[in-house]
Structure 1
Amino acid sequence: MNFNFLSPVSDLILAHNELLSSQALGRRVKIHSAHAGIPDLDDVDIAILGVLENRNDINYIGEEFQLNEIRKSLYSLFPGGWNTNIVDLGDINRGESVEDTYFALKTAISILVKKNIIPIILGGTQDLTYANYRAYDNLIPMVNVVNVDSKFDLGDSTKPIKNNSFVGKVILDEPYNLFNYATIGYQTYFNSQEEIDLMDKLYFESYRLGQVSKDITIVEPVLRDANIVSVDLTSIKGSEVGVNQKYSPNGLDGKEICAISRYAGISNKVTSFGIYEYKPSHDDEMTSMLVAQIIWYFIEGVNYRVSDDDFSDDRNYQKFITLVDSQELVFYKSNKTGRWWIEIPFLSEVNNKLKRHALLPCMHQDYLDACNGKLPDRWYKAFQKNSV
């Protein structure tokens, strides 16, 4: 397995790790070190992968980038009663060009996902999500991306890619593999009306910060349906992070971002998880500890994954049928977990992209709304995309 573009975790962090309790997470993670090399990946479930690339930051002024503080914080936490094997593969150094870094990241993610290992990507800038997405070109036919962000990051796809405008490339660059793009925690005043209208026109999903803060459970179905989850740390409220990291007085709080991370972990479909826009600082334990806790909750979620989406055996689920505007809606509820799905009808006369999306995760509330004559929003958008 050729990972020659990876650099080991620094000796400084390894020395720090040796001083931790033998029960600490850092003592249970297999770590890529200069002395021992890259650990064996057999039986590994989760791989931590740093990417030291921040040149596409619109405010880039040549500053150095490292992830030592995050590793220190993460290694010092205690694991839950987990049975997952975790490896820290070290870092992808910035390449000659940003495209070289993208290529290395795409290659690494593709290798890991093929081996059923979930990469947790710790990044510089969020445009790395584009490389993450491209890693799926030869893995699955259609990809769902969830972006936890205060902005949609659509941008102008004709211009060079930047950390605030990578989604346009995801949508418009061939091969066209994107099925759904959803943003969690967006703040209207950070997004132009054109972008908001475009999200609607493309039948993509967006959850405003206010909606998410009022009821965090509304984002569980969209995360259950995601393949890639990308977290922009600027979506977090300024009071929750260190001075370097502050962006906006409004945003997700620590509990909300950790709940979102746990939902992503529990999802049986999420096969890569990235945290981006970290601004390193030696005296900022607050941000590195929050990032460590976000990672902790994701791993916790992965440990509690339950295979509840096998609908071939009718003992596994209950089926409910209701009528809305002469449209028959079919719901399924798992007997194992109580989670809900809604069926998306195939349109036989169109070239159907949705062969594996026949069942769409939803909430119990969607069923209750349908019983009261209201079409669920997620169903409507998926149906419209399938009709295009």
Structure 2
Amino acid sequence: MSQFIKPDSTLWTGRESDARSYLHEKVLCTHADILKKTNTQKTVAILGYACDEGVLRNQGRIGAVKGPDVIRTQLAKMPNHLNENTQLIDVGTVVCEDGDMEATQKSLSEMTDQLLGKGILPIVLGGGHDVAYGHFKGLRKHIPKGKSLGIINFDAHFDLRSNKKRNNSGTPFYQIAQDCQSDNLDFNYLCLGIRKNANDKILFETADQLKVFYIEEKHFNMHYLEHVQLRLMQFIEDVDHIYTTIDLDGFSSAFAPGVSAASPMGFSPDIVLECLKLILDSQKLISLDIAEMNPKYDVDHQTAKLAASLAHYVIHNSQEG
């Protein structure tokens, strides 16, 4: 089963001002059902995915179920640079109950489709990386036939494990690839930050068979910025829409200790921000999620602050609606 929890305004607190200088003073906590379709305003929606059942099934360390709210708490304290014509809304959280991850993904899919139908940019906060499958299903439902969708995943892992035994946080892009094959759609998948010490030989073979584009972590840094930018621009040019997913465990644990699978051998925020700039400048981004935030292992809220900073950047630099 899955449950939808209304937005909690008590999470949005911080320093007070007379000019709505902080995001907690700007955000509107509301249910998506009452929102009208907007063609003139830019609207960004925060949607939570409180589920770590996929991490549990993947034999990872659980705790990401509490990720969405801690990211909200840090985002609330950050400065508001949005103009009056831009809305920031919190539409609540999809919660996994009784281990029914599939029902939770279905609810996420429906909510994503609903938000996009109203002209709203969703930013989904997780939760395990199984968020990607439900998120993709909602995007694909919204996008007209004949239009292509490219997936850009910032991650140490391909997440292309077979789901023959059971769906989990390591299978979402394999599931997406299978769906694309069934629906006669191209599987356009670019993974940035892949580590050889985090993916076995079979996963590399699967990536090659599915024609996945990827850049290994050893080349995903500022020293190779021009190369990364070129590869990214080539991928973006070949698709109509972009779905971006950021797995926080791709970052070095120096920046993100509070994740389900931490490692010091990861990438840094600077290269990710450079890539996000290119993605946003293309005006093809239609949705984004941030996955694997695990407060149980965070240090001084460092990972939550990183996740909130990434969301803050996208909120303030996404295209005008």
Query: With structure 2 as the length reference, what TM-score do the two structures score?
Result: 0.82
What is the aligned counterpart of 1:158 among 159, 164, 169?
Answer: 164
Higher relative contact order, structure no. (Cα contacts within 8 Å, ≥ 6 residues apart): 2
Change (3 A) 1:51 1:20: farther
What is the aligned counterpart of 1:126 among 126, 129, 137?
Answer: 129
Change (3 A) 1:245 1:111: same
Higher CA-based Rg:
1
**2:62 and 2:266 mapped to 1: Cα distance?**
28
Residue 113 of structure 1 and its aligned partner are, at CA, apart by 1.4
Residue 150 of structure 1 and its aligned partner are, at CA, apart by 0.7
Gaps of 5+ in 1: 306-388
Residue 217 of structure 1 and its aligned partner are, at CA, apart by 2.4
Change (3 A) 1:60 1:197: closer
**1:50 and 1:101 mapped to 2: Cα distance?**
11
**2:111 and 2:102 mapped to 1: Cα distance?**
14
Residue 289 of structure 1 and its aligned partner are, at CA, apart by 0.8
Residue 116 of structure 1 and its aligned partner are, at CA, apart by 2.0
Q: Deviations over 1:275-321 (max 9, x none)?
A: 1011024863211111111011112331479xxxxxxxxxxxxxxxx
What is the aligned counterpart of 2:199 among 188, 191, 197?
Answer: 191
Residue equivalent to 1:86: 88
Residue 11 of structure 1 and its aligned partner are, at CA, apart by 4.7
Change (3 A) 1:171 1:303: closer
Residue 102 of structure 1 and its aligned partner are, at CA, apart by 1.1
**2:295 and 2:320 mapped to 1: Cα distance?**
31
Residues 92-131 of structure 1: matches in 2 within 5 Å? 92-96=94-98, 97-131=100-134
Residue equivalent to 2:247: 232
After superposition, the CA RMSD in angstroms is: 2.9
1:76 equivalenced with 2:77 (yes/no): yes
Residue 195 of structure 1 and its aligned partner are, at CA, apart by 2.5
Residue 80 of structure 1 and its aligned partner are, at CA, apart by 3.2
Residue equivalent to 1:48: 46
1:291 equivalenced with 2:289 (yes/no): no
**Is contact 1:110–1:139 with CA below 8 Å preserved after alignment?**
no
Q: Deviations over 1:215-268 (max 9, x none)?
A: 152354135645211111100011112456671112121222333333333332
What is the aligned counterpart of 1:258 among 263, 269, 273?
Answer: 273
Change (3 A) 1:211 1:236: same
Change (3 A) 1:202 1:112: same
**1:260 and 1:167 mapped to 2: Cα distance?**
21
Residue 18 of structure 1 and its aligned partner are, at CA, apart by 7.2
Residues 135-154 of structure 1: matches in 2 within 5 Å? 135=138, 136-137=140-141, 139-141=143-145, 142-154=148-160
Residue 117 of structure 1 and its aligned partner are, at CA, apart by 1.1
Change (3 A) 1:219 1:6: farther
Residue 104 of structure 1 aligns to a residue in which SS?
helix
Residues 173-212 of structure 1: matches in 2 within 5 Å? 173=179, 174-212=182-220
**Is contact 2:151–2:244 with CA below 8 Å preserved after alignment?**
yes
**Is contact 2:259–2:293 with CA below 8 Å preserved after alignment?**
no
**1:18 and 1:146 mapped to 2: Cα distance?**
35
Residue equivalent to 1:356: none
**Is contact 2:252–2:265 with CA below 8 Å preserved after alignment?**
yes
Q: Percent identity?
A: 19
Residue 85 of structure 1 aligns to a residue in which SS?
strand
**1:119 and 1:228 mapped to 2: Cα distance?**
10
1:248 equivalenced with 2:263 (yes/no): yes
Query: With structure 1 as the length reference, what TM-score do the two structures score?
Result: 0.69
Residue 188 of structure 1 and its aligned partner are, at CA, apart by 1.9
Gaps of 5+ in 2: none
Residue 128 of structure 1 and its aligned partner are, at CA, apart by 1.6
Which deviates further from its counterpart, 24-33 or 119-128?
24-33
Residue equivalent to 1:364: none
Residue equivalent to 2:230: 218
Q: Which structure has more helix as a fraction of its residues?
A: 2
**2:261 and 2:316 mapped to 1: Cα distance?**
27
**1:164 and 1:265 mapped to 2: Cα distance?**
27
Residue equivalent to 1:330: none
Report how many aligned residue pairs link the two structures: 298
Change (3 A) 1:268 1:61: closer
Residue 240 of structure 1 aligns to a residue in which SS?
coil
Change (3 A) 1:111 1:59: same
State the AA in 2 paired with 1:191.
N
State the AA in 2 paired with 1:162.
N
Q: Deviations over 1:171-225 (max 9, x none)?
A: 1133343431110111122222332233233332111122221215235413564
